[in-house]
């Protein structure tokens, strides 16, 4: 029965076009449909967005509304308003469906009878719904703006084109709408930027504006009228929102979508997809448990973590499983809330999870993939031994050495029940790095092998607005560095942790394992019922609400690898299939949580997997890396080499060879002299 219910709730957008046909006839059929759904499943309608545009609007406005509504999982009731077609009674009938928010383009608003507007917004709005008027430019006319804003806006103007640095600045004060974006500045280049001229004594609150040359020009404001709030947004689109972009372009263009995202999240609240809290993690790659590891002092870092309140995960190379020093091990045992371990490759051989080329006949070479499979199994076996020997838990989260593996390797991670993979690029090696802008709005994707692939950022390059954007979008904020990140002192990360806390005081610093277990989105469907979209096969579902609630959990699963069983709190639990998804339902009291795990069928038998370090080549490589990080890095000449050639192991080997040769020559000369003296 609950499957029927959830099925109806996961319905597609209801889009109603009125364009070019008798209005009333068009309304009748879809409205009946809507009401049937509402009655059968007793749904609240707050999750819908009523969107009114006009046939003369540019496609960009519609694209932006569709994109942002899709991001938040909101249904759109789309009405195209032709000249003088939208009368007051019809508008009143449209809002009978109690939309959670109303978005009207400036063009569509111009098609309304001007006299009707004030009574519509104030008198006819017998429901509490926020309204956004978007796509405004100076061509709308000062009179219109003045009357629509109840004399709070005097008019509009346009910035002159020049080369001066221009930023969109989000107000510090409107944190209920701006959330983590409050106080941030986003650089932007566009010649067509319009802004509002606010009237003297205007009641408008500025959410966002343009800062140039010490001056500030509002372009996104709100007004509170009776029960409702009306938001006014100037046109700020310079691009279309279809087509593929790269990560940097997403970062540059995010600000164009930010006002709509702020408006929707603020208006729809828990009905929009969201995470239950904001997570952050700092990962240090490569280090094994020896004090110090190059510039990393574990005890020093623990002191700083206690001061600045953050958590460090070591991306641990499984090859190092049996060489940890008790002094460092005890720190991990004593402070699990500060230190954790995830998996970093297996041998950290440069090519261990590298691209395997297709054979001339177009078939993937089984051999290359088989080798990777062995390494993925060996990594687990070694980490199990490490965990048993040192009594430190580890998380089944894979950080690939150097760069993310190709997609088929992600299949293997899924097969062996890893929880997620975290890398600088979440697009597997060999795949197109151009994706829809929506793809980049989530830090986690299931697009590749249906396995959670999460994006992380180098700690040294992250700017304040990047942090704010990621947290605002409810993405886990994952940062990383190597031991040399601390070359100027062990306090190096404290300033970033402090900046993150300023942007989101409630941020939780956790292990990558805990982040993986919270890779799910939640949305309210009706009082006491939440829908969960899970990205990981291992989640910790929490009821963070004041009342007991039923959770419908959806998890995308492909037919391969087959599911062995589903566990809820370590006990087998029934589930049902719906297309490519499995569905389960659980009830949780307030504050209660439950672990949900999906196990896949595989051939892993740890008793048969060797953990031996047989390869001389790998041993030499690891020893050279140790020499680089533990000895050379701490000399200034060595550091200069490493700064230049960190990634080029050949250059390092060569330079080390020269150093060793040089040292031997000195020793030989000294011995020769000594022998000569003695003789
Ligand atoms: Zn590494």
pLDDT of residue 3: 38
Q: Could you tell me if 383 and 358 lie in one domain?
A: yes
Q: Could you tell me if 413 and 429 lie in one domain?
A: yes
pTM for this entry: 0.86
pLDDT tens per residue, range 100-109: 899 999 988 8
Gap from CA of 189 to ligand 1 centroid (Å):
37
Q: Could you tell me if 259 and 376 lie in one domain?
A: no
- CA 497, CA 310: separation in Å to the nearest integer? 6
pLDDT of residue 636: 64
- Between these two residues, 651 and 83, which has the higher pLDDT value? 83
Last-in-domain residue among 254, 271, 288: 271
Q: How far is CA 668 from CA 20, 618, 658, 665, in A?
A: 94, 30, 15, 5
Gap from CA of 349 to ligand 1 centroid (Å):
9
Q: Could you tell me if 245 and 389 lie in one domain?
A: no
Tell me the mean pLDDT in the region 646-673: 61
Taking the mean position of all CA atoms in its chain, how far away is CA 429?
20
- Between these two residues, 277 and 648, which has the higher pLDDT value? 277
- Between these two residues, 146 and 586, which has the higher pLDDT value? 586
Using an 8 Å Cβ cutoff, are 494 and 308 in contact?
Answer: yes
- Between these two residues, 361 and 54, which has the higher pLDDT value? 54
Tell me the mean pLDDT in the region 40-51: 59
* DSSP secondary structure letter of residue 351: T
- By DSSP bridging, strand 101-105 and strand 48-53 are parallel
Residue 64 lies in a domain: yes
Taking the mean position of all CA atoms in its chain, how far away is CA 293?
31
Strand runs (DSSP E) across 424-461, as ranges?
A: 444-445, 453-455, 457-458
Gap from CA of 385 to ligand 1 centroid (Å):
21
Residue 561 lies in a domain: no
Q: Which of 16-30, 90-104, 465-479, 663-677 has the highest mean pLDDT?
A: 465-479
pLDDT of residue 380: 98
pLDDT tens per residue, range 137-188: 988 888 888 888 888 999 999 988 777 788 999 999 999 999 999 999 999 8
- Between these two residues, 641 and 529, which has the higher pLDDT value? 529
Whether the pLDDT of residue 586 is over 80: the answer is yes
pLDDT of residue 656: 63
Q: Could you tell me if 191 and 143 lie in one domain?
A: yes
- CA 57, CA 670: separation in Å to the nearest integer? 85
Q: Could you tell me if 305 and 243 lie in one domain?
A: no
pLDDT of residue 165: 85
Lowest mean pLDDT among 277-286, 400-409, 584-593, 644-653: 644-653
Whether the pLDDT of residue 474 is over 80: the answer is yes
> pLDDT-based confidence at 17, cuts 50/70/90?
very low
Gap from CA of 406 to ligand 1 centroid (Å):
17
Using an 8 Å Cβ cutoff, are 150 and 118 in contact?
Answer: yes
Gap from CA of 344 to ligand 1 centroid (Å):
7
Whether the pLDDT of residue 6 is over 60: the answer is no
Q: Residue 649: beta bridge partners?
A: none
Whether the pLDDT of residue 36 is over 70: the answer is no
* Cβ-based neighbours of 212, under 8 Å, separated by 6 or more: 159, 164, 165, 166, 167
Gap from CA of 412 to ligand 1 centroid (Å):
20
Lowest mean pLDDT among 58-72, 122-136, 385-399: 122-136
* Residue 561: cis peptide before it, omega within 30 degrees of 0: yes
Which helix H or strand E contains 41, and what residues bound it? helix 23-41
Across the chain, what does the average pLDDT equal? 85
Gap from CA of 99 to ligand 1 centroid (Å):
50
- CA 16, CA 76: separation in Å to the nearest integer? 9
Tell me the mean pLDDT in the region 630-634: 76
Q: Could you tell me if 359 and 453 lie in one domain?
A: yes
Gap from CA of 133 to ligand 1 centroid (Å):
49
Whether the pLDDT of residue 118 is over 70: the answer is no
Task: Report the CATH number at residue 366.
Answer: 3.20.20.370
Residue 246 lies in a domain: yes
Gap from CA of 350 to ligand 1 centroid (Å):
9
Gap from CA of 284 to ligand 1 centroid (Å):
9
Last-in-domain residue among 249, 271, 293: 271
Number of structural domains the chain divides into = 3
88 three-class SS: helix
Q: Could you tell me if 288 and 261 lie in one domain?
A: no
Tell me the mean pLDDT in the region 391-400: 98
Residue 550 lies in a domain: no
Gap from CA of 479 to ligand 1 centroid (Å):
14
Q: Could you tell me if 139 and 227 lie in one domain?
A: yes
- By DSSP bridging, strand 571-572 and strand 563-568 are antiparallel
* DSSP secondary structure letter of residue 579: T
Helices (H), 201-277: 247-268
Task: Residue 411: give the domain boundaries.
Answer: 279-515
Residues shown for the chain: 679
pLDDT tens per residue, range 437-457: 999 999 999 999 999 999 999
Q: How many CB atoms lie within 10 A of CB 242?
A: 12
Gap from CA of 348 to ligand 1 centroid (Å):
7
- CA 549, CA 587: separation in Å to the nearest integer? 6
- CA 97, CA 620: separation in Å to the nearest integer? 70
Whether the pLDDT of residue 55 is over 80: the answer is yes
Q: Could you tell me if 329 and 206 lie in one domain?
A: no
pLDDT of residue 172: 95
Whether the pLDDT of residue 677 is over 60: the answer is no
pLDDT tens per residue, range 301-360: 999 999 999 999 999 999 999 999 999 999 999 999 999 999 999 999 877 887 776 667
Gap from CA of 86 to ligand 1 centroid (Å):
61
- CA 397, CA 476: separation in Å to the nearest integer? 14
pLDDT of residue 590: 97
Last-in-domain residue among 243, 271, 299: 271
Whether the pLDDT of residue 37 is over 50: the answer is no
Q: Could you tell me if 163 and 213 lie in one domain?
A: yes
Lowest mean pLDDT among 36-45, 106-115, 329-338: 36-45
Gap from CA of 351 to ligand 1 centroid (Å):
12
CA terminus-to-terminus distance, the chain? 99
Residue 103 lies in a domain: yes
Residue 573 lies in a domain: no
Gap from CA of 475 to ligand 1 centroid (Å):
24
Residue 354 lies in a domain: yes
Using an 8 Å Cβ cutoff, are 194 and 137 in contact?
Answer: yes
Q: How many CB atoms lie within 10 A of CB 647?
A: 9
Q: Could you tell me if 390 and 487 lie in one domain?
A: yes
Gap from CA of 402 to ligand 1 centroid (Å):
6
Lowest mean pLDDT among 190-194, 515-519, 575-579, 643-647: 643-647
Tell me the mean pLDDT in the region 625-652: 67
Task: Report the CATH number at residue 137.
Answer: 3.40.50.880
Whether the pLDDT of residue 633 is over 80: the answer is no
- Between these two residues, 248 and 237, which has the higher pLDDT value? 248
pLDDT of residue 30: 31
Kindly report each contact of residues 84-87 with a partner whose C-beta sits within 8 Å and lies 24 or more positions away, as own/partner: 84/111, 84/113, 85/18, 85/23, 85/111, 86/52, 86/111, 86/112, 87/113, 87/116
Residue 601 lies in a domain: no
* Cβ-based neighbours of 366, under 8 Å, separated by 6 or more: none
């Amino acid at each position: 029965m609950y499957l029927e219910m959830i099925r109806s709730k996961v319905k597609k957008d209801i889009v109603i076009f009125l364009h070019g046909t008798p209005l009333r006839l068009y309304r009748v059929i879809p409205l009946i449909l809507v009401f049937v759904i509402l009655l059968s499943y007793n749904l609240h309608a707050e999750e819908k967005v009523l969107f009114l545009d006009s046939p003369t609007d540019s496609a960009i406005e519609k694209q932006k509304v569709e994109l942002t509504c899709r991001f938040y999982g909101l249904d759109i009731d789309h009405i195209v308003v032709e000249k003088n077609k939208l009368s007051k009674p019809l508008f009143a009938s449209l809002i009978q469906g109690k939309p959670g928010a109303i978005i009207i383009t400036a063009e569509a608003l111009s098609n309304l009878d001007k006299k009707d507007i004030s009574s519509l917004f104030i008198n006819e709005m017998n429901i509490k719904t926020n309204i956004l008027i978007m796509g405004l430019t100076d061509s709308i006319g000062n009179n219109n703006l003045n009357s629509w804003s109840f004399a709070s806006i005097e008019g509009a103007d346009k910035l002159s084109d020049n080369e001066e640095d221009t930023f969109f600045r989000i107000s510090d004060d409107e944190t209920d709408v701006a959330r983590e974006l409050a106080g941030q500045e986003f650089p932007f280049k566009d010649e067509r930027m319009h802004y509002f001229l606010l009237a003297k004594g205007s009641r408008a609150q500025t959410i966002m504006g343009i800062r140039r040359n010490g001056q500030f020009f509002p372009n996104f404001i709100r007004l509170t009228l009776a029960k409702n709030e009306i938001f006014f947004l100037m046109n700020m689109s310079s691009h279309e929102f279809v087509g593929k972009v790269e990560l940097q372009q997403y970062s540059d263009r995010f600000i164009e979508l930010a006002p709509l995202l702020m408006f929707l999240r603020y208006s729809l609240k828990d009905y929009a997809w969201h995470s239950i809290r904001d997570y952050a993690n700092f990962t240090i790659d490569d280090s094994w448990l020896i004090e110090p590891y190059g510039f990393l002092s574990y005890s020093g870092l623990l002191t700083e973590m206690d001061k600045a309140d953050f958590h460090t995960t070591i991306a641990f190379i499984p090859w190092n499983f049996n060489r940890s020093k008790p002094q460092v091990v005890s720190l991990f045992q004593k402070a699990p809330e500060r230190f954790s371990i995830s998996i970093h490759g297996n041998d950290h051989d440069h090519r261990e999870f590298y691209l395997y080329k297709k054979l001339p006949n177009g078939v993937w070479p089984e051999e290359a993939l088989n080798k990777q499979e062995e390494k993925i199994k060996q990594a687990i076996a070694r980490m199990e031994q490490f965990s048993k020997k040192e009594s430190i838990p580890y998380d089944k989260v894979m950080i690939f050495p150097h760069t993310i593996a190709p997609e088929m390797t992600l299949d293997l991670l899924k097969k062996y029940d890893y929880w997620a993979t975290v890398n600088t690029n979440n697009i597997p090696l060999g795949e197109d790095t151009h994706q829809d802008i929506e793809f980049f709005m989530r830090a986690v994707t299931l697009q590749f092998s249906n396995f959670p692939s999460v994006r992380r950022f180098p700690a040294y390059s992250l700017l304040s607005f990047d942090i704010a954007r990621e947290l605002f979008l409810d993405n886990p904020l994952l940062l990383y560095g190597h031991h040399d990140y601390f070359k100027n002192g062990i306090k190096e990360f404290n300033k970033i942790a402090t900046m993150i806390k300023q942007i989101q005081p409630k941020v939780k610093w956790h292990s990558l394992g805990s982040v993986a277990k919270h890779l799910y989105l939640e949305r309210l469907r009706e009082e006491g019922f939440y829908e969960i979209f899970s990205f990981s096969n291992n989640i910790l579902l929490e009821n963070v609400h004041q009342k007991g609630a039923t959770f419908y959990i959806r998890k995308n699963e492909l037919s391969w690898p087959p599911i062995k069983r589903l566990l809820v709190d370590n006990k087998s639990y029934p589930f049902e299939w719906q297309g490519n998804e499995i569905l389960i339902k659980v009830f949780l009291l307030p504050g209660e949580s439950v672990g949900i795990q999906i196990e896949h069928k595989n051939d892993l038998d740890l008793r048969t997997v060797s953990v031996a370090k047989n390869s001389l080549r790998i041993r030499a490589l690891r020893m050279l890396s140790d020499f680089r990080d533990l000895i050379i890095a701490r000399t200034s000449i060595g550091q200069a080499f490493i700064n230049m050639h960190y990634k080029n192991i050949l250059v390092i080997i060569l330079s080390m060879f020269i150093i060793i040769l040089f040292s031997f020559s000195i020793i030989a000369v000294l011995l020769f002299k000594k022998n000569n003296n003695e003789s």
